């Protein structure tokens, strides 16, 4: 397995374009191998993943419903049947869920591999400033997943299950297993990625693309876009639910402004400390 070992990466200035591509190729390969490994692990945990996680929001003892009942809010889990109408339906669903779960379990390793490709191209002060970035990225991703799974998914499922095109309920709901998995996965993954906003803004601010004045100037536009996104993510007309979705994203945006401001100050400080190159003077 020596071919999987990381080579000692030279400084980015010493590497040719093809060497950069080679390093990126191996980083992606190692990340994919980790993803496949965790996918296999998830595939073998079928009963637990489906019984407790995928079908969790359908059960009365789901953690969100228990908490609501403890604080005095009577809430019942949406009751609806799931069907599979194709010969390969259940196997395909099992495989897709395993792939999604494999990515979640392997996220720290996958991000670490990609970060290992980027890190050698940074200056020492930049490496110091990004210390622990893999841990931060993983933590933000995990918080977003939990928010999407325990808060957004139950609310959305309840609305979609009870929704009818007419009061007489002429059309009876019978949901396909693949559709159910798609909704749960989309809502969960969407917030896992959305909660990476502060980290994304950090790197955009590092290269000067995002600045605090720019983000403050377009704050109203961003808030409007957040409310539109929250309305799309939660297909419910309940304003309280949309606020529950929108407020965390607005807070993330405000935190991102603070992060961009800190990065800008660091960049200005470094620029003052770095002596002017005589050859460019």
For the chain, domain boundaries: 199-272
pLDDT in tens, 142-197: 999 999 999 888 888 888 888 778 877 778 888 899 999 998 998 898 899 889 99
Q: What local confidence, expressed as pLDDT, does residue 216 receive?
A: 92
More confident residue, 5 or 225: 225
DSSP-derived secondary structure for 166-195: STT--SPP-EEHHHHHHHHHHHHHHHHHHT
pLDDT score recorded for residue 278:
45
- 163 vs 8: which has the higher pLDDT: 163
Helices assigned H by DSSP within the chain: 17-44, 46-48, 63-70, 89-118, 124-129, 133-147, 153-162, 177-194, 197-206, 212-217, 219-233, 239-273
Judge whether residue 51 has pLDDT over 90.
Answer: yes
Place 275 in a pLDDT band, splitting at 50, 70 and 90.
Answer: low
Average pLDDT of the chain is: 84
- What pTM, to 2 d.p., does this model score? 0.81
pLDDT digits (tens, 9 = 90+) for 227-256: 888 887 766 666 777 787 888 899 999 999
């Amino acid at each position: 397995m020596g071919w999987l070992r990381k080579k000692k990466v030279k400084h980015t200035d010493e590497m040719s374009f093809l060497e950069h591509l080679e390093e990126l190729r191996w980083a992606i390969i190692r990340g994919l191998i980790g993803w496949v490994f965790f996918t296999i692990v998830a595939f073998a945990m079928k009963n637990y993943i489906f019984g407790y996680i995928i079908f969790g929001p359908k059960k009365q003892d789901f953690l969100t419903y228990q908490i609501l009942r403890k604080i005095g809010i009577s809430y019942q889990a949406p009751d609806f049947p799931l069907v599979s109408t194709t010969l390969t339906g259940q196997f395909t669903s099992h495989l897709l869920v395993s792939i999604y779960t494999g990515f979640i379990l392997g996220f720290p390793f996958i991000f670490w591999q990609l970060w290992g490709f980027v890190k050698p191209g940074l200056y020492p002060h930049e490496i110091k400033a990004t210390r622990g970035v893999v841990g931060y990225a993983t933590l933000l991703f995990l918080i977003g997943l939990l928010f999407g799974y325990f808060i957004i998914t139950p609310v959305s499922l309840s609305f979609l299950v009870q929704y009818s095109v007419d009061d007489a309920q002429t059309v009876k709901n019978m949901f396909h297993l693949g559709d159910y998995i798609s909704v749960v996965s989309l809502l969960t993954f969407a917030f896992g990625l959305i909660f990476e906003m502060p980290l994304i803004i950090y790197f955009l601010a590092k290269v000067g693309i995002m600045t605090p004045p720019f983000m403050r100037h377009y704050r109203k536009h961003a808030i409007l876009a957040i409310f539109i996104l929250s309305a799309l993510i939660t297909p419910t007309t309940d304003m309280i639910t949309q606020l529950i979705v929108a407020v965390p994203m607005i807070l993330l945006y405000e935190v991102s402004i603070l992060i961009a401001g800190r990065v800008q100050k660091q960049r200005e400080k470094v620029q003052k400390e770095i002596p002017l190159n005589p050859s460019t003077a």
